Each structure stands twice: as C-alpha cells, then as structure tokens.
Amino acid sequence: MALPVLDTPKHKCILPSTGETVNYRPFLVGEQKVLLVAQESENANEQISEMVRLINVCCDDIDANELATIDLEYLFLQLRIKSVGETADIQMECEHCNELNKVTVQLDQTIVEEPEKVIDNVVKITDTISIDLKTPSYQIVNSVNLENSEDPKVIFEVVSKCINSIIDGDEIHTRDDFSDKELMSFLDSMSMDMFEKIQAFFVNVKKLKINGSYDCEKCGENNSYELMGIGNFFG
C-alpha cells in the first residue's frame, strides 16, 4: 500500500522593491537539514548559496539570482517564518557589562525601512546625458569581491553591471551597444560630482530592520538593539 501524499500549504508575499506578488511554500524537513548543515559550516557563501537554492525550489516562477538583495532577504525571511517559526534566538552582548545574552527576536516584526531620499533610477549627470540604472541583483553582488567593498574598483564594477542604458539627448545606448572597456572608460571620464549622483542611487535603498530591547540576565540593565539585514537576524 502506497503511503499518503502530504499536501503542502501555499502562501503569498509582495516583494518590497518591485511590488511583485510571489507564491511560495514552506521548505520541507529534508531541505531544512541541508540549510542547517550550511549554517553550521560558518561559510557565508555556502549559506547564501543554500538560501538562493531554497528560494528557487520553494517559489513559483522565480530566479533568486536575479532578485535584488532586499527582495532575496525578504523572501527568505517569509520562508523561514512559515517553515520554522516567527522567532529566532541570537546572542547579544550587554552594552553595560559585556555579558552575552540569548535574545529571542520577533522575525514577524521586521519592517522594510524606506530610504531617507528616494533616487530615481534614471540619473541625470549632465543637461543632456542620463544613465538608466537597476538595483544590484544577488548575481551581481555575488560576482564581485565585497570584502573590499570600499575599494573604488569594486564600486566601479558594481555600477558598471547595473547600467541598463545611457541616454544622450534623443539617443539611447543600451548595454549591448558598448563593451565593458568602453563603459569603464566612460565611467573613468566622469567628474566626482557626476559619479556621486550615481552612487546615491545605490546608497539610498530599502533595508530590512528589527528594533527591540532586552534586560541583561547578569546586570539587569535594559539594552536596545537595531538589526539591519537578514544576516544579523539569525546571529
């Protein structure tokens, strides 16, 4: 006699950067085992790769590699909440006595923090020239060495990969119209003021955030915390 087939519930969420509705299911026991092994390895790349794989198998019609970082993090957070639960225990150091405390964080209280200033994706750098930009996808972020994120070469590389087109008056030059070398020469020829306008687009982005507080187990003092980004939500 065949074993019964278990029904898996379906859920919906709206991606914060695009407003797109995504259908997803919780990850299964076997899938969670692989995720736990990746988490125990303490290898950040392995953990993110497994997160991307889970999103691809649990969501309908989604390529996680093409998602903006904020959407990737938000979608995995919803998967984690529906699959495991709405809380996560992480270690926090008391700012008064330095004691490590196990703090239960309410994942369902995560908010999407809007940027202080909304920058249009079409950035005007001169009276006649504008650049059409896109938010970096996970694939783009993963292709550069973010350990050197302050390195100008890394910044230029990310910017170059996020240019959809260059608008010169009535002419539109799409990304396929010029080589990487031509694009880098174009970026190199910019003034600092021009490049700062482009950088502002990438700095002013939506972020996931959790605010909370706890009383230290040792000294009893109250501590406030602010967690930014999904990497901090799970310790």
Instruction: For residue range 163-189, list pLDDT tens digits in order.
Output: 999 999 999 999 999 998 899 899 999
What mean pLDDT comes out for the span 14-22? 94
> Tell me, what's the pLDDT at 35?
75
What mean pLDDT comes out for the span 75-93? 93
Q: pLDDT at residue 143 above 80?
A: no
Averaged confidence pLDDT in the chain: 88
Give 83 or 144, the one with higher predicted confidence: 83
> Tell me, what's the pLDDT at 169?
95
What number of helices (H) and strands (E) belong to the chain? Answer: 8, 11
What mean pLDDT comes out for the span 192-221? 93
Asked if 138 and 116 touch (Cβ cutoff 8 Å), the reply is no
- Between the alpha carbon of residue 148 and those of residues 12, 102, 129, the distances in Å are 36, 32, 30
Domains of the chain (ranges; CATH) run: 1-85 (3.30.2220), 122-203 (no CATH)
Cite the DSSP H helix spans in the chain: 29-40, 44-58, 69-83, 138-142, 152-161, 180-188, 192-203, 230-233
CA–CA gap between residue 63 and residue 217 (Å, rounded): 44
Token pair listed for 55:
């999103």
Q: pLDDT at residue 22 above 70?
A: yes
- Between the alpha carbon of residue 120 and those of residues 23, 41, 169, 198, 223, the distances in Å are 28, 40, 18, 10, 37
Indicate the pTM of the whole model. Answer: 0.83
* Residue 5 DSSP class: P
* Residue 64 DSSP class: G
pLDDT above 70 coverage of the chain, percent: 91
pLDDT above 90 coverage of the chain, percent: 59
Q: Quick: pLDDT tens for 109-137.
A: 999 998 888 889 999 999 999 999 998 88
61 C-beta neighbours (distance < 10 Å), count: 7
> Tell me, what's the pLDDT at 149?
54
